[in-house]
Structure 1
Amino acid sequence: MSTPSLASGPQGPQALRPLLHTVLDALRDGNRARGGPLPAGGPPAVAARIADAVGDVLPDDGDPDALRALVHALAEGAADPADPLCAAHLHCPPLAVATAADLAASALNPSLDSWDQAPAASALEALVTRTLAHETGLADALVTTGGTESNQLALLLAREAHGGSVRLVCAAGAHRSLTRAAWLLGLPDPVVLPAPGGTLDPATLDDALTHLTGPLLVAATAGTTDAGLIDPLPDIAALCTAHGTRLHIDAAYGGPLLFSRRHRHLLAGLEAAHTVTLDLHKLGWQPIAAGLLAVAHPDELAVLHQHTDHLNADDDTDAGLPDLLSRSPRTSRRPDILKTAVTLKTLGRTGLGALIDHVCATAREFAALIHHHPTLDLYDEPTLTTVLFRPTGATDDTVAQLRRTLLHDGRAALGRARLDGRLWLKATLLNPHTRTDDLTDLLKLVEGTTPG
């Protein structure tokens, strides 16, 4: 048996080229076989097709057709975020240029736990993270796997800044990763304030900060998961300043509005935060993962420092080799910043801003179609790209069943959100190629699936 080829090194490109043709053909054929936004038949049917395609997971003798067969099976059974009718979640179709850059990152395989494993990648990460942090009005940023890790790091930094304990204060619509992080870090039970309108009410927050004692961390949200709403950030920032309270803003969803001259004003107040969560694998069209945590005070990152002689020996650091173990709680890390750097450089602020403006306009167009539809109710005008709606007069059980029917049949993927005591269908429109006809088709599917 010949030795398998490597992806990097002088022969890497030659070895990869025919494999890339195999992958691209399998993706094409798998997408055609699926024929829609997601596979039909529900979980049992998909699991059966995957089991049939895989067969023996670890055979005695290898199968040279495994790459084609498994990529085809995965594509056929995928929920395709590039399909206009796949709009359930904050799950974006990645840009081709970002995906190509991600291939290069995988082939080169730098590991950002020491400089000698990632010389260029570590320099690129330092440059790009500072630039993105400055966009938020803060000083530096760490690369994370997404909002969950970023939010947990924000609570960790707050805890350490306050001597080992801090209490989280957030609205009921805040991302669940915040309250989960408080539990994981052994913090006091969070104070979760009611948010009848879906956002954090400044008067309610002021009252809570007036009566609560001890170190506090207020977490505001710029782009809620359920409805894409943005808390009144300037008012919240002013209250935190008045009460001497630390502020974290979870802008995992809405943060990329910074690239849009038309929508950037919606993030006024972001620069007042101590920490800010960003996710470019949502409204930034990056392959997962592409998260960031921006920080106002880089000296606080010292609490992440760990020393191990084979990675960041003191004499190496004194000699000028960067210490990467203070840049993440993880040790081995991919160069996820490469795809983001390529995207920023390729599209520029104008190109990214145009994409953001387009999907926001698409959401408003979709909301207008629902508003004028005789048998559908619109929750509200969208702030970002999330639109909530439901059939007029339907029960919550009917709404839930309608969504599951569309999923089971593979015809459309819509999310769900419970607001104001009712269950709503949720369309999260992140596809810049979605057209008016696609939106009309989606409403026809909903109308045709609703029990008479």
Structure 2
Amino acid sequence: MRSHLLNDTTAELYRSSVTEGIERVAAKLATTSRPFTGVTPDALSPTVDAVNLDEPLHDTIAALDELEDVYLRDAVYFHHPRYLAHLNCPVVIPAVLGEAVLSAVNSSLDTWDQSAGGTLIERKLIDWTAARIGLGPAADGVFTSGGSQSNLQALLLAREESKTEDLARLRIFASEAGHFSVQKSAKLLGLPPGCVVTIPVDKDKRMRTLALAAELERCKADDLVPMAVVATAGTTDFGSIDPLPEIAELCAQYDTWMHVDAAYGCGLLASRTRRDRLDGIERADSVTVDYHKSFFQPVSSSAVLVRDGATLRHATYHAEYLNPRRTVAERIPNQVDKSLQTTRRFDALKLWLTLRVMGADGIGGLFDEVCELAHQAWEVLAADPRYDVVVEPSLSTLVYRYVPATVTDPAEIDRANLYARKALSASGDAVVAGTKTGGRQYLKFTLLNPETTLDDIKAVLDLIAGHAEQYLGDTLDRAS
């Protein structure tokens, strides 16, 4: 119905509808006392299944009332200080404002004639980020949907720059603690199974450069082509940062594309106290950044940056109906010439408004706070005999496990930790993540909320211990 199209005649309906939605979300944020209700898929599915999408409600208030039941009531709220699970950050208000503006105007960032100033804003932010990294005057890049897409595009460029038609000879080198999108990207790029060579990590979960050097030399000896080395600046599980200067030296020695996956660690680009942890990133050929992880932006907000903007030509195709070749000579800036996507949201606006309101120091200060909290929490875990913590954090992630004093069976300890995580989530009191290291089950804090306190951390550790002990006690009762 035309009455719902956003235009000059429906501006008042737009204002009232959005205001009603904002009021409800604001009330929910103000009254949420825990990060999750603990609802299960089986419990919530019937409510969603009962909605007949072919019978509209014809009323915004009624639709929002229904939304409370199918989504808002049981949503996982990342703003809560005891949401400690994944790389999901609370978002800053200027970015949410940007989200509202970009959704209503609905620019598409593929061509100039669909975005105008949006194109220039995105390009300005790419230049700003490239300068923060130190990539040099020829650098360029483009916003993407997230780290996986950024990694895929970077490896596409690396494949094309290798100038090797025999894809079976190409090899990618990545840390065993690196992101799974490297393997997925290799498959999407038509590379053969086994083309990703996994490099072991040291005790701090950083890539072993001696092992990387040995693999690069073996690659050369076997007449294979080292297509790329993927260094990680902030692994998903440990927040570890690979030794970037040493990796850069090896990439130069073996004429290999150096990609840095800084999807998580990019927050250090705005840090006033920890920027040196990214030293060496300026020598990368490409870099992934996820502003929606450590710049406190709503999903999605990511980018891939390259040292040599000319390499982005490998993603360029010209269509007469969209970006004809003549527009290049006319110096018309079409972002689709650089992107794997065509239609694309103006996600850059969120970061633009954040920088214009808060400044880079404001963002960096928030990220420094969570890094400092992680260090304090590591000291608590290291001193607590109930827990084993894997590594001291480089960023804001902690991997640990509950170790009971009276149980020595590793498999039983695994089950106790799994149970504790599930029981904690079911209670809704807190949400933590889980992972495996050394074949054993561990728990994980990913601290991205500056409102989380050390007291929150201590309280959650007590809850985990309580759930684990309950499981072990019940197991002992059943056995007797």
Instruction: Please indicate, yes or no, whether the TM-score normalized by the shorter chain is above 0.5.
Output: yes
The aligned counterpart of 1:207 is: 214
Q: 1:89 aligns with which of 63, 86, 90?
A: 86
1:408-419 matched pairs, under 5 angstroms: 408-419=426-437
Shift of 1:26: 2.6
Cα separation, 2, equivalents of 1:41 and 1:104: 33
TM-score of the two chains, using structure 1 as the length reference: 0.94
1:268-283 matched pairs, under 5 angstroms: 268-283=279-294
Question: Does the CA-based 8 Å contact 1:196-1:420 persist in structure 2?
Answer: no
Cα separation, 1, equivalents of 2:31 and 2:352: 34
Question: Does the CA-based 8 Å contact 1:39-1:46 persist in structure 2?
Answer: no
The aligned counterpart of 1:430 is: 448
The aligned counterpart of 1:404 is: 422
1:22-101 matched pairs, under 5 angstroms: 22-28=20-26, 30=28, 35-51=33-49, 55-59=51-55, 62-73=58-69, 74-101=71-98
Shift of 1:128: 1.1
Amino acid at match of 1:428: T
Question: Does the CA-based 8 Å contact 1:32-1:76 persist in structure 2?
Answer: no
1:191-202 matched pairs, under 5 angstroms: 191-197=197-203, 198-202=205-209
Cα separation, 1, equivalents of 2:392 and 2:54: 52
1:310-325 matched pairs, under 5 angstroms: 310-325=321-336
Q: 1:339 aligns with which of 321, 332, 350?
A: 350
**Using a 3 Å threshold, how does the CA distance of structure 1 residues 31 and 45 change in structure 2: closer, same or farther?**
farther
Cα separation, 2, equivalents of 1:420 and 1:402: 20
Shift of 1:403: 0.6
2:119 is equivalent to residue 122 of structure 1 = yes
Deviations 1:110-151 (A, max 9, x none): 011221111111111111111111211221121111110011
The aligned counterpart of 1:252 is: 263
Amino acid at match of 1:94: V
Deviations 1:130-186 (A, max 9, x none): 111121122112111111001100110011111244321111111000011001111
The aligned counterpart of 1:227 is: 238
1:321-400 matched pairs, under 5 angstroms: 321-393=332-404, 395-400=413-418
Question: Does the CA-based 8 Å contact 1:199-1:231 persist in structure 2?
Answer: yes
Cα separation, 1, equivalents of 2:395 and 2:10: 43
Amino acid at match of 1:194: P
Question: Does the CA-based 8 Å contact 2:420-2:465 persist in structure 1?
Answer: no
Cα separation, 2, equivalents of 1:303 and 1:82: 40
TM-score of the two chains, using structure 2 as the length reference: 0.89
Question: Does the CA-based 8 Å contact 2:17-2:60 persist in structure 1?
Answer: no
Question: Does the CA-based 8 Å contact 2:39-2:74 persist in structure 1?
Answer: no
1:183-194 matched pairs, under 5 angstroms: 183-188=187-192, 189-194=195-200
Shift of 1:45: 1.6
SS of residue matched to 1:388 = strand
**Using a 3 Å threshold, how does the CA distance of structure 1 residues 78 and 120 change in structure 2: closer, same or farther?**
same
Question: Does the CA-based 8 Å contact 1:37-1:413 persist in structure 2?
Answer: yes
**Using a 3 Å threshold, how does the CA distance of structure 1 residues 315 and 389 change in structure 2: closer, same or farther?**
closer
Shift of 1:85: 1.3
SS of residue matched to 2:344 = coil
2:182 is equivalent to residue 178 of structure 1 = yes
SS of residue matched to 1:93 = coil
Identity %: 33
Shift of 1:215: 2.4
**Using a 3 Å threshold, how does the CA distance of structure 1 residues 128 and 59 change in structure 2: closer, same or farther?**
same
Question: Does the CA-based 8 Å contact 2:78-2:90 persist in structure 1?
Answer: yes
SS of residue matched to 1:278 = strand
Shift of 1:441: 2.0
Cα separation, 2, equivalents of 1:120 and 1:62: 36
Question: Does the CA-based 8 Å contact 2:174-2:229 persist in structure 1?
Answer: yes
Amino acid at match of 2:255: G
Amino acid at match of 2:120: A
Question: Does the CA-based 8 Å contact 1:169-1:193 persist in structure 2?
Answer: yes
Question: Does the CA-based 8 Å contact 1:142-1:328 persist in structure 2?
Answer: yes
Question: Does the CA-based 8 Å contact 2:110-2:343 persist in structure 1?
Answer: yes
Question: Does the CA-based 8 Å contact 2:396-2:448 persist in structure 1?
Answer: yes
Question: Does the CA-based 8 Å contact 1:26-1:71 persist in structure 2?
Answer: no
2:152 is equivalent to residue 152 of structure 1 = yes
Question: Does the CA-based 8 Å contact 1:27-1:72 persist in structure 2?
Answer: no
Shift of 1:62: 3.0
Cα separation, 1, equivalents of 2:339 and 2:364: 29
Deviations 1:278-319 (A, max 9, x none): 101111110011111110111111111111112122444433
Question: Does the CA-based 8 Å contact 2:272-2:365 persist in structure 1?
Answer: no
Shift of 1:28: 4.4
SS of residue matched to 1:4 = helix
- Mean Cα deviation higher: 384-393 or 273-282: 384-393
**Using a 3 Å threshold, how does the CA distance of structure 1 residues 204 and 399 change in structure 2: closer, same or farther?**
same
Cα separation, 2, equivalents of 1:265 and 1:12: 52
Q: 1:296 aligns with which of 307, 313, 319?
A: 307
SS of residue matched to 2:20 = helix
The aligned counterpart of 1:3 is: 2
Root-mean-square deviation (CA, aligned residues, Å) is 2.0
Cα separation, 2, equivalents of 1:264 and 1:156: 29
SS of residue matched to 1:255 = helix
Cα separation, 2, equivalents of 1:245 and 1:389: 36
- Mean Cα deviation higher: 122-131 or 320-329: 320-329
Count residues with an aligned counterpart: 448
